[in-house]
Amino acid sequence: MGPERVDAARNRTLLLEAARRLITEHGAARVSTDDIAAAAGVGKGTLFRRFGSRAELMLVLLDEDEQASQQAFLFGPPPLGPGTPPLPRLLAFGAHRIRFGHRHHELLTAAADGAAGRDNPPDSVVRAHIRILLAEAGSTGDLQAQTDALAALLDATYIEARRCAGHDVDAQIAGWQSVAEKLCGR
């Protein structure tokens, strides 16, 4: 495939800027593809040709923040990045991802709509990171089950349900850290 056409690149930028603006103003749940296309000054067909679905558009919007998050926990400074012992790093990672889930709940939920059964590369990176840190922290037993348990606590829908039940970010982080510490024998 050749380089992107100038008009296609412009339309992509217009659509992403319009989507970000509308989501900031109204929330992802209240913004339709019709709204985004109209605000960008393009037809709805252009949006679907460019992104395929509303869920795919939401994934593209999340991508930049997700990449920054991954850079922070894979290569950034301690305690989140390398150079920290495994358990404190795992605890910092959980706090980081819970905050990410709170900040991006609506986009994460909208991106997941219609994307069920699809590979989710960011989720795969999160799970791999949890598993590696559990192993390095000396966790014993079924590492996959332990990874699944900790990853479930980072799910955006779960985070939002806990928030709605009155558990603020700090309480959710404390809960996640308690489970992680128990899995690592602390």
DSSP 108-150: HHHHHTT-TTS--HHHHHHHHHHHHHHHHTT--S-HHHHHHHH
CA gap 32, 91 in Å, rounded = 37
Model confidence band, residue 46 (pLDDT cutoffs 50, 70, 90)? very high
Instruction: Judge if pTM exceeds 0.85.
Output: no
Mean pLDDT of the chain: 90
Model confidence band, residue 119 (pLDDT cutoffs 50, 70, 90)? low
Model confidence band, residue 62 (pLDDT cutoffs 50, 70, 90)? confident
Three-state secondary structure string covering 85-111: CHHHHHHHHHHHHHHHHHHCHHHHHHH
Model confidence band, residue 64 (pLDDT cutoffs 50, 70, 90)? confident
| Cis peptide preceding 86, ω within 30 of 0 | no
